[in-house]
Amino acid sequence: MASNRHLSRIIALQSLFESAFCDFNLEIKRTKADKAKKIKETVERNVSEFASGEQNKQFALDIAKGVIESEDKIDAIIKPAAPEWPIEQIALVDLVILRMSVFELLFAKEDVPPKVAINEAVELAKAFGGPRSSKFVNGVLGTIYRASDKYNPADDKKPPVKEKKEEKNKK
């Protein structure tokens, strides 16, 4: 099932990127209703072309529509987490990945573990972004997560590293 969700995230990313790219290139301000209708068509086309199954389609559609509906709120969360990078200057693919992940972290109805959402975003950035995209995405999402109500400082604690037998014998 995890691989299905990963594929669904890729489809959501492709669909949202296509939508954002068209908006950027055409310099058109579409309404949220127009964007929601178009994103549904785009996700359905991408699912039929690259994936199969209603489960893939629904998960990708939930993410894509959620990002479209919450875009202004999501961008307002991203801005202070990346103060050196105004929204307009963030690479489009990185911005779409950030929007998807912030949606999953903070707005999605289905609870996605924060580490999963962040790790998936980093993997998408490695696959589709530039050479530094994964570090940028990880840093921004880590900042957003630590500032959120969902943050639990205990999650950051790493288990103690066990000493190797050789090191113990030297003592």
Counting Cα atoms < 13 Å in the Cβ hemisphere of 6 gives 11
Does the residue 17 lie in any domain?
Answer: yes
Does the residue 48 lie in any domain?
Answer: yes
Domain holding 22, by residue range, is 2-149
Phi, psi angles (nearest 5°) of residue 84: -80, -10
Does the residue 85 lie in any domain?
Answer: yes
Does the residue 13 lie in any domain?
Answer: yes
Does the residue 83 lie in any domain?
Answer: yes
pLDDT digit string, tens, across residues 126-146? 999 999 999 999 999 999 999
pLDDT digit string, tens, across residues 6-63? 999 999 999 999 998 876 655 667 778 888 889 999 999 999 888 777 777 899 999 9
Does the residue 11 lie in any domain?
Answer: yes
Number of domains in the chain: 1
Residue 67 near residue 74, CB atoms below 8 Å: yes
Q: What is the CATH number of the domain that holds 110?
A: 1.10.940.10
Does the residue 107 lie in any domain?
Answer: yes
pLDDT digit string, tens, across residues 57-116? 899 999 999 999 999 999 999 999 999 999 999 999 999 999 999 999 999 988 889 999
Does the residue 160 lie in any domain?
Answer: no
